[in-house]
Amino acid sequence: MTNELKITIVQTDLAWENREQNRLDLTRQIRNISEEVDLIILPEMFTSGFTMQPKKVSETMTGKTIEWLTELAKKKNAAISGSIVIEENQKYYNRLLFVYPNGELKTYDKRHTFTLAGENKLYTAGSEKLIVDYKGWKICPMVCYDLRFPVWSRNTENYDLLFYVANWPKPRIEAWHTLLKARAIENMSYCVGVNRIGTDNNNYEYTGNSIAFDALGVQISKIQPYENTIEVITLSKKELVRTRDKFKFLEDRDAFRID
């Protein structure tokens, strides 16, 4: 087990529906990570932006981006995670990928498709929560709109890190900050949100505001809005366990069932 987990937030602009350009841009950014890290987190739909034209940008699970992620994870000796558009069995998914340094791959299909943008009509919602075991840490990855649904992210698995990859626009950025902090506090977990910047072809503006909180809701990141940048944050398992042992809030959590 690793006591410290070094995660890297990649807050970046995205070229609209341009997979190759986004892979090139992200390759340059990731190469600029000068220290050894354990996990690199990219935004939602990092090869395309939040598009409602999945046919134009979709890939398969043997496509170019999967190959690129696998090679990059091996080169950096770090896990890499983010979501892309996947076509499978004639259906489209907003699929989060978690690629281990050895090339092993875990996936999570966004459970809550964004009705306001019509995502629910074009993409198939997932039904399975993913808990990743990595270096002695239990990690729960989710996608954007999932953040608004606390029951789905409830920490019944004793995970240590909850993170969301997103294309969360400027008009609702206050909700982004507030909900991430709430998820950290109620789940007694580190909680990280990785959001894009820039303006997409639908004229939606994104300010980033990527952020990380500890299990008591204290902000532990320094990344600024609008910056095209990366930030490395060190999480401490020892500190997390100490906090949980002291307050024991998770022992009083309610039992529930998701239908």
- Cα distance between residue 46 and residue 37, in whole Å: 20
Please give the C-alpha separations between residue 69 and each of 204, 211, 232, in angstroms, as whole numbers.
27, 23, 19
User: Given 59, 76, 106, 110, which residue is catalytic?
Assistant: 110
74 a catalytic residue = no
Confirm whether 44 is a catalytic residue.
Answer: yes
Identity of residue 26: L
Query: Sign of torsion, CA 53 55 61 66?
Result: negative
Contact indicator for 91, 78 with CB cutoff of 8 Å: no
Active-site choice (17, 119, 129, 144) = 144
Pairing of strands 79-88, 39-41: parallel
44, 59, 119, 231: the catalytic one is: 44
| 174 among known catalytic residues | no
Catalytic positions: 44, 110, 144
